């Protein structure tokens, strides 16, 4: 008889783990407490707009995702490399275009020379890029206990450059406003962005878990099943106890869950406010009371994101920035964001309409310097665990963790039971 494994949680990690174990010959049941698969990778259809769960992209520079996900089947399309950077002012806002600070730092950053990039900063980006793109990912994750802010300072970057470029971009990626995230994750993301593009699937971010789940027979997935985990061999589903040779917990079951949270606001407009297919960073976010970290227009990349003749604008606001300003309701966030957008774009913003305001809690696992010094506790207590909380908060992190767990299961549970 085949050995039986239960996977609890149908996020991308649980889905990948399930399909790989089935390929190896195990019998696997995948349980999900909600009524859909995909976990945090979710897309809803609202008034004809595809609304992702937060601003969410896939990177073509991810090594494991490249092997696991068929990007062509998803019909992905890319953002322009680099970013627009805005400096807002009540008189006249100014916008810089950094065509590609990751792949062509010198030519890109010279556009912003004076405002935030010095020749030394430009040179340092170039050297950092050269070093990190040559470094294997495993090596990047091996060492380094500084936080991102300290690491960047140690590299010699000017505070102005950190505040106006690295800060708006990376605080928005890490979803925390201190740049306390460990240097290893910064280096990994910087390397990934230097090697590939940020892309969106035609049918929204949920198309990714949906595609991977096609490899799992329908009968092996049970939705609406909030599992109670009893022991490494026993779970309880809808009051019924079930026995397995192994249980994989594919959600963060720690008690000290990450406090990272983020607000994402979606607006509909008759035309896109951006002149190119970049995201736009707020250069003043660190040293002001502004809420907006950056905006993007997914419908500029994939027209599917909005009905014909409309644009979908996505605004990202860090949760801890709101906490620091004592802002905690949808109404307060919306009204402050609208004021800021009006400073950027003037009266045009009055014609935009708010489509969705999401407040996403436990958005990403904490990846501060302490996190990376922990020992991998997979299977220490008899359970297997997988998910981004075991590696780092990204699609790539979730997939890496799923593969490690499959390896672990293969070593500890024979394919056939006696």
Ligand X SMILES: Cc1cc2nc3c(=O)[nH]c(=O)nc-3n(C[C@H](O)[C@H](O)[C@H](O)COP(=O)(O)OP(=O)(O)OC[C@H]3O[C@@H](n4cnc5c(N)ncnc54)[C@H](O)[C@@H]3O)c2cc1C
Question: Are the CB atoms for 384 and 404 separated by under 8 Å?
Answer: no
Is residue 18 a contact residue for ligand X (CB under 6 A)?
no
Q: Which is nearer to ligand X, 112 or 280 (CB)?
A: 280
Is residue 61 a contact residue for ligand X (CB under 6 A)?
no
Question: Are the CB atoms for 12 and 209 separated by under 8 Å?
Answer: yes
Beta carbon of residue 42, minimum distance to ligand X (angstroms, whole number): 8
Beta carbon of residue 262, minimum distance to ligand X (angstroms, whole number): 5
Residue among 383, 346, 369, 398 at smallest CA distance from 56: 398
Binding-site member from 162, 364, 409, 413 for ligand X (CB under 6 A):
364
**Measured between alpha carbons, how far is 405 from 138 in angstroms, rounded to an integer?**
17
Beta carbon of residue 341, minimum distance to ligand X (angstroms, whole number): 20
**Measured between alpha carbons, how far is 333 from 288 in angstroms, rounded to an integer?**
16
Is residue 39 a contact residue for ligand X (CB under 6 A)?
yes
Beta carbon of residue 389, minimum distance to ligand X (angstroms, whole number): 7
Q: Return all residues near 88 (Cβ < 8 A) that are at least 6 apart.
A: 282, 284, 290, 340, 343, 344
Q: Where do runs of H (alpha helix) occur along 91-228? A: 105-109, 119-134, 137-140, 148-154, 159-161, 167-174, 183-195, 207-213
Binding-site member from 70, 226, 241, 323 for ligand X (CB under 6 A):
226
**Of the listed pieces 73-81, 121-129, 356-364, 407-415, which binds ligand X according to CB under 6 A?**
356-364
**Of the listed pieces 104-112, 150-158, 267-275, 386-394, which binds ligand X according to CB under 6 A?**
386-394
**Measured between alpha carbons, how far is 198 from 65 in angstroms, rounded to an integer?**
13
Beta carbon of residue 229, minimum distance to ligand X (angstroms, whole number): 7
Strand ranges, E, within 32-161: 43-46, 49-52, 58-59, 77-78, 83-87, 94-98
Q: Which is nearer to ligand X, 56 or 187 (CB)?
A: 56
Is residue 40 a contact residue for ligand X (CB under 6 A)?
yes
Name residues contacting ligand X, limited to 244-263 (CB under 6 A). Answer: 250-251, 262
**Of the listed pieces 91-99, 118-126, 220-228, 343-351, which binds ligand X according to CB under 6 A?**
220-228
**Number of CB atoms found within 10 A of residue 287's CB:** 10
What are 199's two structure tokens? 């892309």
Sign of the dihedral defined by the CA atoms of residues 96, 197, 174, 206, in that order? positive
**Measured between alpha carbons, how far is 265 from 262 in angstroms, rounded to an integer?**
10
Q: Which is nearer to ligand X, 193 or 341 (CB)?
A: 193
Residue among 40, 51, 42, 45 at smallest CA distance from 312: 51
What are 175's two structure tokens? 């979803």
Query: In the stretch 262-301, what mask flags binding to ligand X with x, by CB under 6 A?
Result: x---------------------------------------
Binding-site member from 84, 398, 409, 413 for ligand X (CB under 6 A):
398
**Measured between alpha carbons, how far is 136 from 132 in angstroms, rounded to an integer?**
8
Binding-site member from 301, 395, 400, 413 for ligand X (CB under 6 A):
395
**Measured between alpha carbons, how far is 95 from 82 in angstroms, rounded to an integer?**
13
Is residue 189 a contact residue for ligand X (CB under 6 A)?
no
Q: How far apart are the first and last CA of the chain?
A: 7
**Of the listed pieces 122-130, 219-227, 265-273, 328-336, which binds ligand X according to CB under 6 A?**
219-227
Beta carbon of residue 373, minimum distance to ligand X (angstroms, whole number): 21
Beta carbon of residue 260, minimum distance to ligand X (angstroms, whole number): 8
Beta carbon of residue 398, minimum distance to ligand X (angstroms, whole number): 4
Number of residues that bind ligand X (CB under 6 A): 35
Q: Which residues bind ligand X (CB under 6 A)?
A: 8-14, 31-34, 39-41, 53-54, 56-57, 225-227, 250-251, 262, 360, 363-364, 387-388, 393-398
């Amino acid at each position: 008889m085949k050995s039986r494994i239960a996977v609890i949680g149908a996020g991308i990690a649980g889905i990948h783990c399930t399909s790989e174990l089935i390929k190896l010959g195990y019998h696997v049941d995948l349980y999900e407490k909600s009524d859909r698969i995909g976990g945090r990778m979710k897309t809803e259809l609202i008034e004809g707009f595809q609304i992702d769960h937060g601003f969410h992209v896939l990177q073509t520079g991810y090594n494991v995702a490249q092997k696991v996900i068929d990007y062509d089947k998803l019909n992905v399309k890319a953002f322009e490399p680099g970013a627009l950077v805005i400096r807002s002012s009540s008189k006249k806002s100014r916008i810089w275009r950094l065509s590609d600070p990751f792949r062509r730092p010198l030519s890109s950053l010279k556009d912003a020379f004076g405002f935030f990039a010095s020749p030394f900063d430009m040179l340092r980006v170039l050297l950092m890029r050269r070093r990190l793109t040559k470094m294997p990912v495993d090596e990047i994750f091996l060492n380094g206990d500084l936080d991102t802010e300290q690491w960047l300072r140690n590299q010699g970057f000017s505070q102005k450059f950190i505040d106006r470029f690295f800060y708006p971009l990376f605080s928005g990626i890490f979803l925390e406003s201190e740049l306390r995230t460990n240097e290893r994750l910064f280096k990994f993301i910087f390397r990934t962005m230097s090697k590939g593009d940020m892309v969106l699937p035609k049918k929204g971010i949920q198309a990714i878990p949906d595609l991977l789940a096609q490899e799992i027979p329908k009968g092996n997935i049970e939705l609406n099943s909030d599992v109670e985990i009893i022991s490494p061999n026993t779970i309880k589903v809808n009051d019924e106890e079930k026995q397995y040779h192994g249980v994989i917990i594919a959600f963060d079951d720690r008690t000290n869950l990450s406090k990272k949270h983020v607000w994402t606001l979606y607006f509909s407009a008759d035309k896109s406010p951006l002149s190119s297919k970049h995201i736009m960073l707020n250069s003043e976010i660190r040293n002001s009371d502004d809420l907006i970290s950056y905006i993007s227009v997914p419908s500029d990349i994939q027209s599917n994101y909005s009905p014909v003749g409309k644009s979908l604008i996505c605004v990202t606001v860090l949760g801890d920035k709101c906490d620091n300003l004592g802002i905690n309701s949808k109404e307060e966030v919306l009204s402050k964001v609208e004021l800021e957008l009006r400073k950027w774009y003037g009266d045009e913003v009055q014609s935009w309409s708010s489509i969705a305001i999401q407040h996403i809690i436990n958005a990403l696992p904490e990846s501060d310097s302490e996190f990376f010094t922990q020992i991998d506790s997979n299977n220490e207590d008899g359970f297997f665990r997988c998910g981004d909380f075991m590696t780092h908060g990204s699609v790539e992190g979730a997939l890496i963790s799923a593969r490690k767990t499959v390896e672990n299961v293969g070593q500890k549970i024979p394919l056939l039971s006696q």
